[in-house]
Structure 1
């Protein structure tokens, strides 16, 4: 499994905000620190804000902060909101499925079980868990 760039940027953005509590951070700071395109990051920030993970403030002194407490943002929830729009396999694609094996293939069940286990682990982890006690990460993400 490979995560989409959007999911990766979403998690980096949330960790960046969590590493800078009480501070409004700027998109440019995140892009520079995380080696990301500002245009791509803007799309991710928009989606995160729409889902309530971020609060955004427009204008000269604008930027973004976490929309919820870091301990209330589950990694699995974020991953689902970004990854669930794409089916993991063709057989999970619903009406677009053209696999001739759909009626007798057991792989679909195994993959579904594996995916559920993957998300179960992510559901146990919060954004706070990723940042708290991780001094090296906080040092990299902290805005001076």
Structure 2
């Protein structure tokens, strides 16, 4: 089985938002950290927001953030949103199936079971499982807080 780029980007986007929890992130920041084009990422973010995983905030200070707690986002559920409409093999697509074995082959039955086990396993994994205590991932995906310029520091009175 091979996951689509959209599913991969969906998980990257969710992990990016989870690592930067409590902060509204920009699509450009996400695209840079996730090594993705902003246009492709925009499509994925749109799907994630329509399905209730991300919230988009409009306006000058707008951006993207998680719409649910990271421990309530199941990896299996996200995968289903992006992968379920794609046939696993040609024989799963009745309209375009040209396999001469289709009527007698037992493999699809076993593939359905294997796919069910795959999703069932991923259902038990949350976004929190992917990001919590993952220092290396946090280092890669964290958006640094704005740096205060030397001029601003000089103008701020120190309390002693």
- TM-score class, shorter-chain normalisation, is over 0.9
- In structure 2, the partner of 1:142 is 142
SS of 1:3's partner is coil
Measured in 2, the distance between the counterparts of 1:39 and 1:129 equals 28
1:65: Cα distance to partner? 0.5
SS of 1:128's partner is helix
TM-superposition CA deviations, 1:90-142 (whole Å, max 9, x none) = 12113333322122101111211111111111111000110011111011111
Matched, 1:43 2:71: no
Measured in 2, the distance between the counterparts of 1:96 and 1:76 equals 27
Matched, 1:73 2:73: yes
- In structure 2, the partner of 1:93 is 93
1:7: Cα distance to partner? 0.4
TM-superposition CA deviations, 1:32-67 (whole Å, max 9, x none) = 011100000000000000000000011211101101
Could you say which structure has the greater relative contact order, defined with CA pairs below 8 angstroms and 6 or more residues apart? 1
What TM-score, normalized by structure 2, do the two folds share? 0.87
- In structure 1, the partner of 2:21 is 21
Unaligned runs of 5+ in 1: none
TM-superposition CA deviations, 1:66-91 (whole Å, max 9, x none) = 01111111000000000111111112
Measured in 2, the distance between the counterparts of 1:93 and 1:133 equals 41
Unaligned runs of 5+ in 2: 145-160
Measured in 2, the distance between the counterparts of 1:143 and 1:59 equals 20
- In structure 2, the partner of 1:60 is 60
